Amino acid sequence: MEFVNPLTGFRLDGRRPNEMRHIRGEIGVVANADGSAMFEMGNTKVIAAVYGPREVQNKSQQLSNQALVQCEYSMANFSTGDRMRRPKGDRRSTEISLVIRQSLEASVLTHLMPRSQIDIFVQVLQADGGTRSACINAATMALADAGIPMCDLVTSCSAGYLCTTPLLDLNYVEDSAGGPDVTVGLLAKMDKVTLLQMDAKLPMDIFENVMQLAIEGCKAVAQYIHEVLLENTKQLESRRGK
């Protein structure tokens, strides 16, 4: 299938290979959480809520020198077209929970909050490819909203390789083509990779191009999140000033 039209150079949804879908982020969407955010990448829509830092509930898990970060990922039954009921805690969710936790832990200054616990809940409301990345982006915003100390923003974006072209931010159709799909998590300002996943084989030189594209995507997401947070702070400021 022609995922990139050879004559026009456009992808099926009208994007160019190096273009991301529309992204939109909003914080403070769940009133009773310490921090929360909603993040959209095209039709993929994810909500994240953060509780903490608070006391560790299960004392045996308590860490004396740093905070315990926990993450729970789930997918709403209505998030995909088939509206299938899905079991909680299946392999895939467990894996994604772990991935999100690990890549975010790299930014949280856990040593400042010993013997405490931070819980991150992410739920996919609408799935159209790139859910992993959207979850990380939403969680980052929620952490910032909760005022958790972080050294940098972790943002994420994926890139794939179809029709011998590196493609940024695959949507569901492109994702289901079964080609290589590289998801990158990045500490944008520090230029440090916190997550790198790929389930396929790619020649080294092509892989580097694809990964570089995903990194560019992460930087663009970081730029956007930064603006949203800044705008929010400005509003808070002006409200306080009144």
Residues at the interface with other proteins (CB under 8 A): 5-8, 10, 12-16, 18-22, 42-43, 81-82, 128, 171, 173, 216-217, 220
114 upstream amide cis, omega within 30 of 0: no
CB of 214 to other proteins, least distance (A): 12
For residues 159 and 169, is the Cβ–Cβ distance under 8 A? yes
CB of 11 to other proteins, least distance (A): 9
CB nearer other proteins, residue 72 or residue 128:
128
CB of 8 to other proteins, least distance (A): 5
CB nearer other proteins, residue 30 or residue 186:
186
Cα(65)–Cα(116) distance, integer angstroms: 10
CB nearer other proteins, residue 81 or residue 87:
81
CB nearer other proteins, residue 7 or residue 31:
7
CB of 164 to other proteins, least distance (A): 9
CB of 223 to other proteins, least distance (A): 9
CB nearer other proteins, residue 22 or residue 239:
22
